[in-house]
Structure 1
Amino acid sequence: MQAATLAARRVAQRRPAALTSLAKCSVRTYATPVPYLKEEEDPQLADYPRVPAISKQTRPAKGWDDPQMRRNFGEPLHENEEAFSMWGPDIPLVPPNVALKQSSIAVLGFVIFGLVVKFALIPDRPAVPREYPFSGLVNELGGLEENKARPEHESEPEE
């Protein structure tokens, strides 16, 4: 137990130096390298065993003392057990890069289908669209100024 407290003190003494070095690197650009931070041992865990961060949902369903939680009695728990337990967030069945690839293929399929429908399956117009002389009869219809909407005034209607 005394060795664990000494190790915790050593880690606590090293921590401010690590935090000050991170504070110096807080303003970064894309050109500055990101310092590799080694995962420090948590001094609060002391001599508690290090449990791997693997979800219990990856374990087989049968062969456990507690089949609902997929664990044996007396088995050490991870410090983030609520995230890695059976009641935590579901692990994806399909890896994210494969899901992105499949989704992009589906979207591309819909876009290609829409383009085929628009350009290949819709027939041409059977008639020529009507054309008017003098740039669409602008002057004959009263001009552009006369065809504009009348501005609305905030006056009360006369009775």
Structure 2
Amino acid sequence: MNRVFSASTRAAVRAQRTAPGQVAAVRFASRYKEQYYVDPEPQIGDYPNLPHKFAEDRPQRGWWDRQNRRNFGEPVHEQDEILNMMAPTQYRSPGWKQVGKMWAGVIATIGSVYYLIANVRAERPYLRAFYPNGLKEELGGVPARTLADAVEEASS
């Protein structure tokens, strides 16, 4: 038999059931639950149905347990091993607009570097050598060997 109560009614009922030292934790849990609405989960019973929020997304300071970013007596999430600080880091990818701007920046940078290299490059301090008949006469008149010449020489 599931009854739907408001968060303040549930907190009052829980405060009556708990010991006096745990009332602060129950109050924090009820405030945390009021902040984020989560659809009711019928299988967890009267355990608080906390939102699926990563501990990494919480602020860094202001927690009783600074390593796990939790307060004393705060209810543990049903999937704590997935949501706690020891879980793998959640990487958020930027939107397509930002990715497009990044690509435009990369292309503009490469283009500007190419332009600078092509147009600001200093002239060569020498003249290139020019051989009207190629290097045949310059190297002593020996004709270039071909593959056919090498095969003929090897077979004889």
Fold shared by both chains (TM-score > 0.5): no
Normalised by the size of structure 1, how large is the TM-score? 0.44
The structure with the greater share of residues assigned to helix is 2
Query: Which one has the largest radius of gyration?
Result: 2
